Amino acid sequence: MKTLITRKNFILTAVVGSILLMAMIILNAILSSRQTVSATNAAVSEVSSFYLEAMADRRAKTITNLINNNFDHMGKAVAYINAENIKSEEELRANLGKIKSLLSLDRFALVDDDEIVHTQYTTYTGGSRHAFLADEEMEEKNVSTVSIYGSSKQLCLAAPTPDLTIAGKRYKASFVQIDVGDIVDLLAFEDEGRTYFGLYSKKGENITDTELGPYISRHNLFAALKDVIDENTLNENRDNFSNAVEGSITFTAGGTEETLVYVPVEQTDWMMVVLIRESVIQDRIRTISEKNLATNKRQIAFTVIFSALFFSVLLFMLKALSKKDLDAEKANSNNFKNMANTDSLTGVRNKHAYSEAEALLNQRIRQNDIDKLGVVVCDINGLKLANDTLGHAAGDKLIKDACSLICEYFTHGAVYRIGGDEFVVILQEKGFDTMHEVIEDINRVIEDNIKKKEVVIAIGHSELTKDDQLVHDVFERADKMMYQRKQELKQMGAPTRG
Amino acid sequence: MRNHLRIKRFLPIMLFSTFVLASCSFNTPETTSNVKEAATAHEDTAGSGSANSVSSAVDFDHELDDYKPKKDHYNFYFTYKTIHPWWDAVALGMEDAQRQFLEKGVTITYEYMAPEAASAEDQKKRLSEAKGRDFDVIGVDVADDAIISPILDEMVDSGIKIMTFSSSDASEGCKRIAYVGNTHNYEDGVDLTEALCEKLGYKGKVAILVGSVGAPCHEDRAKGAKDTIAKYPEMEIVATEYDMDSVDLAYDLTIQILKDNPGLDGIICCNMSNPVGAARAVTETGSSTVIVGMDHDQEALHYLKDGVIYCLGVQDCYSIGFDTIQTAVKIADGHKPGDLFEEKTYEKTTVIYQEDAAIMLELLYGDD
Distance CA B292, CA B209 (A): 10
Structural domain contains residue A32: no
Mean pLDDT for A297-305 is 78
Structural domain contains residue A281: yes
| pLDDT of the residue at B73 | 97
Eight-state DSSP code of residue B90: H
- The tens digit of pLDDT for each residue in A135-149 reads 777 889 999 888 777
| pLDDT of the residue at B61 | 85
Structural domain contains residue A324: no
Residue that is last in its domain, among A272, A288, A304: A288
* Mean per-residue pLDDT of chain B: 86
Query: In terms of residue numbers, what domain contains B134?
Result: 73-183+317-348
User: Which residues of B make CB contacts under 8 Å with A?
Assistant: 1-3, 6, 58, 60, 83-85, 87-89, 91-92, 94-95, 98, 102, 107-116, 296, 298, 317-318, 363-368
CATH of the domain at B324: 3.40.50.2300
Structural domain contains residue A393: yes
Least confident interval from A274-283, A294-303, B108-117:
A274-283
- The tens digit of pLDDT for each residue in A245-297 reads 999 998 988 888 888 999 999 999 999 999 987 666 666 666 776 777 777 77
Q: Which amino acid, one-letter code, is at A98?
A: K
CB contact under 8 A, A121 and B110: yes
Q: Is B352 helix (H, G, I), strand (E, B) or coil?
A: strand
A244 in the same domain as A153: yes
Cα B229 to the center of its chain, rounded Å: 22
Structural domain contains residue B122: yes
Instruction: Determine what percent of chain B is predicted with pLDDT higher than 90.
Output: 70
Most confident of A9-18, A48-57, B65-74: B65-74
pLDDT higher than 50, residue A205: yes
Structural domain contains residue B242: no
| pLDDT of the residue at A64 | 94
A282 in the same domain as A382: no
Confidence band of B26 (pLDDT split at 50, 70, 90) = very low
pLDDT higher than 70, residue A1: no
Q: Are B280 and B287 in contact (CB under 8 A)?
A: no
Q: Dihedral (C-alpha) B257, B258, B262, B265: value to the nearest 10 degrees?
A: 90
3-state secondary structure B185-236: HHHHHHHHHHHHHHHHCCCEEEEEECCCCCCHHHHHHHHHHHHHHHHCCCEE
| pLDDT of the residue at B18 | 37
- Which residue is closest to A127 within chain B, CA to CA? B83
Structural domain contains residue B113: yes
Number of domains in chain B: 1
Q: How crowded is residue B5: how many other Cβ atoms within 10 Å of its Cβ?
A: 12
Q: Are B27 and B187 in contact (CB under 8 A)?
A: yes
A283 in the same domain as A380: no
Q: Are A144 and A132 in contact (CB under 8 A)?
A: yes
Structural domain contains residue B57: no
| pLDDT of the residue at A23 | 82
A256 in the same domain as A370: no
Structural domain contains residue B104: yes
| pLDDT of the residue at B53 | 65
- The residues with which B351 forms a beta bridge, in sequence order, are B313
- The tens digit of pLDDT for each residue in A165-197 reads 998 899 999 999 998 888 888 887 666 667 888
CB contact under 8 A, B113 and A122: no
Cα B355 to the center of its chain, rounded Å: 21
- pTM of the complete model beyond 0.95: no
CATH of the domain at A411: 3.30.70.270
CB contact under 8 A, B92 and A148: yes
- The tens digit of pLDDT for each residue in B341-353 reads 999 988 889 999 9
Residue that is last in its domain, among A249, A268, A288: A288
Confidence band of A360 (pLDDT split at 50, 70, 90) = very high
- Which residue is closest to A146 within chain B, CA to CA? B365
Structural domain contains residue B274: no
A259 in the same domain as A176: yes
Distance CA B246, CA B117 (A): 8
Least confident interval from A449-453, B173-177, B257-261:
A449-453
Structural domain contains residue A301: no
ipTM: 0.79
Confidence band of B46 (pLDDT split at 50, 70, 90) = very low
| pLDDT of the residue at B27 | 35
pLDDT higher than 50, residue A36: yes
- Which residue is closest to A179 within chain B, CA to CA? B2
> Vertex B96, ends B91 and B98: CA angle to 5°?
90
Structural domain contains residue A474: yes
Query: In terms of residue numbers, what domain contains A276?
Result: 46-288
* Mean per-residue pLDDT of chain A: 86
Eight-state DSSP code of residue B108: E
- Residues in chain B closer than 8 A to A154 (CB atoms): none
Residues within 8 A of B (CB atoms), A 214-243 only? 218-220
Confidence band of B30 (pLDDT split at 50, 70, 90) = very low
- The tens digit of pLDDT for each residue in B201-220 reads 999 999 999 998 888 889 99
Residue that is last in its domain, among A288, A316, A337: A288
Eight-state DSSP code of residue B161: -
For testing the chain B interface, which of A114, A151, A225 should be mutated: the one with the most B CBs within 10 Å? A151
Q: Is B24 helix (H, G, I), strand (E, B) or coil?
A: helix
For residue A110, which of A100, A68, A102 has the smallest C-alpha distance?
A100
pLDDT higher than 70, residue A37: no
A274 in the same domain as A419: no
3-state secondary structure chain A: CCCCCCHHHHHHHHHHHHHHHHHHHHHHHHHHHHHHHHHHHHHHHHHHHHHHHHHHHHHHHHHHHHHHHHHHHHHHHHHHHHHCCCCCHHHHHHHHHHHHHHHCCCCCEEEECCCEEECCCEEEECCCCCHHHHCCCCCCCEEEEECCCCCCCEEEEEEECCCCEECCEEEEEEEEEEEHHHHHHHHCCCCCCCEEEEEECCCCCECCCCCCHHHHCCCCHHHHHCCCCCHHHHHHHHHHHHCCCCEEEEEEECCEEEEEEEEECCCCCCEEEEEEEHHHHHHHHHHHHHHHHHHHHHHHHHHHHHHHHHHHHHHHHHHHHHHHHHHHHHHHHHHHHHHHHECCCCCCECHHHHHHHHHHHHHHHHCCCCCCEEEEEEEECCHHHHHHHHCHHHHHHHHHHHHHHHHHHCCCEEEEECCCCEEEEEEEHHHHHCHHHHHHHHHHHHHHHHHHCCCCEEEEEEECCCCCCCHHHHHHHHHHHHHHHHHHHHHCCCCCCC
A218 in the same domain as A107: yes
Mean pLDDT for A448-453 is 90
For residue B293, which of B263, B265, B313 has the smallest C-alpha distance?
B313
A360 in the same domain as A453: yes
CB contact under 8 A, A124 and B91: yes
Beta-carbon-side half-sphere exposure of residue A254 (alpha carbons within 13 Å)? 9
Confidence band of B52 (pLDDT split at 50, 70, 90) = low
| pLDDT of the residue at B47 | 37
- The tens digit of pLDDT for each residue in B285-314 reads 999 999 999 998 989 999 999 999 999 999
Number of domains in chain A: 2
Structural domain contains residue B161: yes
CB contact under 8 A, A125 and B113: yes
pLDDT higher than 60, residue B354: yes
Is pLDDT larger for residue A350 or for residue A35? A350
